[in-house]
Amino acid sequence: MSRNGFFLRIAVYLLLSAGSIGMLFPFVWMLSTSLKSNAQVYAWPQKWIPDPILGINYIRAFTKLPFGLWFGNTALITVISVCGTLLSCTLVAYGFARYRARGRNLLFVTMISTMMIPWTVVMIPKFFLYTQLHWVNTFLPLTVPSFFGSAFSIFLLRQFFLTVPPDTEEAAKIDGAGVLGILRHVLIPVTVPVLVTVAIFQFDAAWNDFLQPLLYLNKKELFTVSLGMNYFNAEYDVQWNYLMAVAFVSMVPNVLLFFIGQKYFVQGIALTGLKG
């Protein structure tokens, strides 16, 4: 390696390290704030290491409000949403990738075009629809739509299915496998990286969703974590220490899921761009 190449690599590593530290800054501030008293939060200059360290803030935050119940609600909604998205998007993406029908490409482009419609445009019509269906104050508006597919997830899965040689499916058909058999025994085993990618995206969207629970859930016992945290945001005072304690705990599932599926996530993003 030449000297110029060596110094260039060092510069790149230093730049990436500085960027990583900058991205970690909000998380360090969140953890530090969660261990302070509310008076220390507003004190100046700021102390990064609280004195004293109030780990009891986590216990107080979870006992002041029923966050245990709200975490359970959030987990239930998220699991159903992820399962519904994986099931529906896999079937629809396979149809777009394999079945030849008149208007297929037009239908696919139309579906992709729906990604350009802001959610705020359909927010009020959906609310009136769910009101007529008596779904308000239930988890149905937050879970049922996932069983009708997601344009982005369908796109990712379709792009990957297009890279799988049809010969592998033909061999399964000769052995008597149907469509579901081909999906289960041939395609899904090789689609794991993309399925994990879709699951991570959907998990993150459902777990952190605030606006939809705010719109559809009015009963306190049905709240999600993101909606419940709003209780610490009073009109004249924000309990930052308790708010950051709950926010830090609620962030843990997202981080764990990403680290567990990081290898598959990177593979999934790379594989879906191989063929248009």
pLDDT 10s digits, 130-167:
999 999 999 999 999 999 988 999 998 998 888 887 77
CA distance 51 to 73: 35
- Residue 88, phi-psi category: left (phi > 0), alpha (psi -120 to 50), beta (remainder): alpha
In this predicted model, which residue has the larger pLDDT, 270 or 208? 208
Indicate whether 37 pLDDT > 90: no
Tokens of 236: 């004249």
Indicate whether 263 pLDDT > 80: no
pLDDT 10s digits, 113-136:
998 988 889 999 999 999 999 999
pLDDT value of residue 137: 94
pLDDT value of residue 20: 84
pLDDT value of residue 213: 93
| Average pLDDT of span 196-207 | 92
CA distance 193 to 264: 4
Tell me the pLDDT of the chain averaged across its residues.
Answer: 85
Cβ 168 vs Cβ 186: under 8 Å: yes
pLDDT 10s digits, 213-250:
999 999 999 999 999 888 887 655 778 888 899 999 99
Domain ranges, ordered by start, for the chain:
63-271
Indicate whether 170 pLDDT > 60: yes
pLDDT value of residue 92: 92
pLDDT value of residue 268: 58
pLDDT value of residue 275: 46
Query: What percent of the chain has pLDDT above 90?
Result: 34
In this predicted model, which residue has the larger pLDDT, 175 or 62? 62
Cα–Cα distances in angstroms (integers) from residue 231 to residues 25, 64, 228, 234, in the given order: 25, 10, 6, 7
Indicate whether 26 pLDDT > 70: yes
pLDDT value of residue 234: 67
- Give residue 276's pLDDT band: very low, low, confident or very high (50, 70, 90): very low
Q: Residue holding tokens 């699991």?
A: 79
Fold of 63-271: MetI-like fold (1.10.3720)
